[in-house]
Amino acid sequence: MTSEHQRRDSGWLAGSREHALARLRTDREPWDLIVIGGGITGAGVLREASRRGLRALLVEARDFAWGTSSRSSKMVHGGLRYLGAGHFALTRDAVVERERLLAEAPGLVERMQYLMPHYRHKLPGRHAMGALLWAYDRFAGQRTRDFHPPTQAQQWLPGLRLEGLKGCSRFSDAVTDDARLVLRVLTEALSDGALAVNYLRATEIVSDNGRVAGVRLLDEISGERFDAHASVVVSATGAWTDRLREQMGQAAVIRPLRGSHLVVPAWRLPVSCSLTLMHPDDRRPLFIFPWEGTTVIGTTDLDHTDSIDEEARISDAEIDYLLAAVRHVFPSAELSRADIRSSWSGVRPIVRGNAKTPSKESREHVVWDDQGLISVAGGKLTTFRLIALDVLNAAAPYLSQQPQRPEDERIFAATPALPRPPGMRTRVWQRLQGHYGRDLPALLARAEGLAPIDGTRTVRAELAWAAANESVLHLDDLLLRRTRLGLLLDNGGEDFLPEIRQICQPLLGWNDDRWQQEVTRYRAIWQRHYSIPGRAATAST
């Protein structure tokens, strides 16, 4: 079992990234497992390894959740379209895991109602959809499906196109903040003695007598290089999977697919549930759903031909594609580019098959073993725990000690039972409980305040907590991943930067020159990758 000393001596829970690096430099004992990649897959592997008594390290070349895991569609779902394509096992597993996450992390993973409209002479029909939803409910062990006539549907979705509408099928899935999900899973792993370091790049696989023996590391902040040794190395690098496998002589297998989303103010397109619709041009499924007080429209599904080393960004064609779908289903809204608050684009690491179109590629995950380099790609956000268990099964032959079966199968420790602070809205309180779990009492003790920032559900104490405790090295870490203010506020939160500076600059230890450098860097990143093409930025003083 992990000792209390080990629980305190871990990652940012001990107070700083420097502490973790110092431990790496001085602790020469080989690791059982080194995980490369700080997205949800890597975090899940670290979590399952650490609670099974393995000595585990995770390294991430950028920031935690920098890649796909902060730029997904936020859906924790079984995937009805996968069920329709015959992927019964994938859908069943995802639905069961969805229910587990809803039970263990309320406020972080939240049930959401979905409506699928049925229009005359258009697929899918009501009865075919009903058959899929029957199976969906059987997997979940509960009934959530229903059918609403057009007038009832408009109560959920004001302005929904009524012409030819026969009604809507209703069912439930779930939604999350994907970046905070990664952070909470990592926090659970660190509490069991694991170590996780961001901006620490694995540049090369180290081998001994033809077998993987560790990794060569580069600290992206200081430029320092050193080796870390392990019985087995796990590559959970998503779209970058091929790069490490190529060092082992393997051929490329990843087909990077880009999915892009638009964020608009909730008042501009008010929806109280997720609308699941088929695009009028190509019949691809899309979602329009409420998230963090805004409305999100997504996603596209295109081959990503740009460099995967640069953050993905939405194209003009994708914006037109998504807006066309909105105008078709909500004609009276007259939504335009001027209404778009922000965007995000993520690259899905799909294992290449024989499908001609991106949407037809399988979302099943695949695990490879290359002499002790265990690589994993594909899969769904929802099934990260099952993916992690498959990875550990593949790693087992290389481990000197076999993983212990944990006494507690839960992914997340229970959030302490605390009274809701006076004056705090129930929804904000539930969100804080889910996002911070066992760290909630310490967050509530912050002096920066529990009042939400205007137009969001984020409270000021979250900024201070992240700056002091969550390995924030750049301003974009804080505003795009630890919090989502860069997506939720106008112009990336430009008008709020002076208050963020007042709260966070002392906690981050940045002098005035460093603050200005970080603001310049953040503005450039947001303008290029999270705004929309051609929109001019307006900087505050």
Amino acid symbol at 407: E
Q: By C-alpha distance, which of 257, 278, 261, 260 is closest to 357?
A: 257
Pick the CATH number of 426-529 from 1.10.10.200, 3.30.1360.200, 3.30.390.50, 1.10.8.870: 1.10.8.870
CA separation, residue 254 to residues 154, 198, 344 (Å): 42, 24, 21
- pLDDT at res. 2: 39
Residue 12 has pLDDT above 60, yes or no: no
Q: How far apart, in whole angstroms, are the C-alpha atoms of residue 221 and residue 503? A: 24
Mean pLDDT across the chain? 92
Cis, bond preceding 124 (omega within 30 deg of 0): yes
Segment 133-183, tens digit of pLDDT: 998 899 998 899 999 999 999 999 999 999 999 999 999 999 999 999 999
Number of residues assigned to the chain? 541
In 7-104, where do the E strands start and end? 31-36, 56-60, 75-76
Lowest mean pLDDT among 4-8, 487-491, 501-505: 4-8
Q: What distance in Å separates the CA atoms of residue 154 and residue 472, rounded to the nearest whole number? A: 43
Q: Which residues pair with 346 in a beta bridge?
A: 259
Q: What topology does CATH give the domain 4-68+179-253+362-398?
A: FAD/NAD(P)-binding domain (3.50.50)
What is the pLDDT at residue 539? 52
Helix (H) or strand (E) holding 385: helix 384-395
**479 dihedral zone (left: phi>0; alpha: psi -120 to 50; beta):** alpha
Distance CA 17, CA 7 (A): 16
CA–CA separation, 502 and 483 (whole Å): 16
The pLDDT score that the predictor gives to residue 89 is 85
Distance CA 399, CA 231 (A): 6
Q: How much is the pTM?
A: 0.95
Residue 331 CB: number of other CB atoms within 10 A?
Answer: 14
pLDDT for the residue 538: 56
Per-residue pLDDT of 85-106, as tens digits, reads: 777 888 999 999 999 999 999 9
Q: Do the two domains 106-175+255-351 and 426-529 of this chain adopt the same fold? A: no
Share of the chain above pLDDT 90, in %: 82
Residue 332 pLDDT class (50, 70, 90 cuts): very high
Q: Is the pLDDT of residue 240 over 50?
A: yes
Q: What is the DSSP track for 516-527?
A: HHHHHHHHHHHH
CB 254 within 8 A of CB 303: no
- Give the residue-averaged pLDDT of 45-55: 96
Where are the chain's structural domains?
A: 4-68+179-253+362-398, 106-175+255-351, 426-529
The predicted-structure confidence for 269-312, as pLDDT tens digits, reads as follows: 999 999 999 999 999 999 999 999 999 999 999 999 999 999 99
Residues 491, 537: contact at Cβ < 8 Å? Answer: yes
Count CB-CB contacts under 10 A for residue 461: 21
* Phi, psi of 434, deg, nearest 5: -70, -40
Any idea what DSSP says for residue 505? H
**Residue-level pLDDT at 82:** 77
Nearest to 275 by CA among 112, 165, 429: 112
Q: Is the peptide bond before 458 cis (omega within 30 degrees of 0)?
A: no
Q: DSSP state, 23?
A: H
Which has the higher per-residue pLDDT, 55 or 2? 55
Q: What is the pLDDT of residue 360?
A: 72
Confidence of residue 27 (pLDDT cuts 50, 70, 90): confident
Average pLDDT on 398-417 reads 90
DSSP class of residue 456?
S
Per-residue confidence (pLDDT) for residue 448, from 0 to 100: 86
How many angstroms separate the CA atoms of 415 and 52, rounded?
21
* Crossing angle (nearest 10°) for helices 178-191 and 40-50: 20
The Cα-based distances of 102 to 97, 140, 176, 290 in angstroms read 9, 12, 10, 18
Written as one letter, the residue type at 193 is G
Q: What does the alpha-carbon distance between residue 371 and residue 398 come to, in Å, rounded to a whole number?
A: 9
CATH 3.30.9.10 assigned to domain 106-175+255-351? The reply is yes
- What's the token pair of residue 182? 């990664």
DSSP for 247-283? HTTPPP-EEEEEEEEEEEETTTS--SSEEEEE-TTT-
Give the pLDDT confidence of 169-200 residue by residue, as tens digits. 999 999 999 999 999 999 999 999 999 999 99
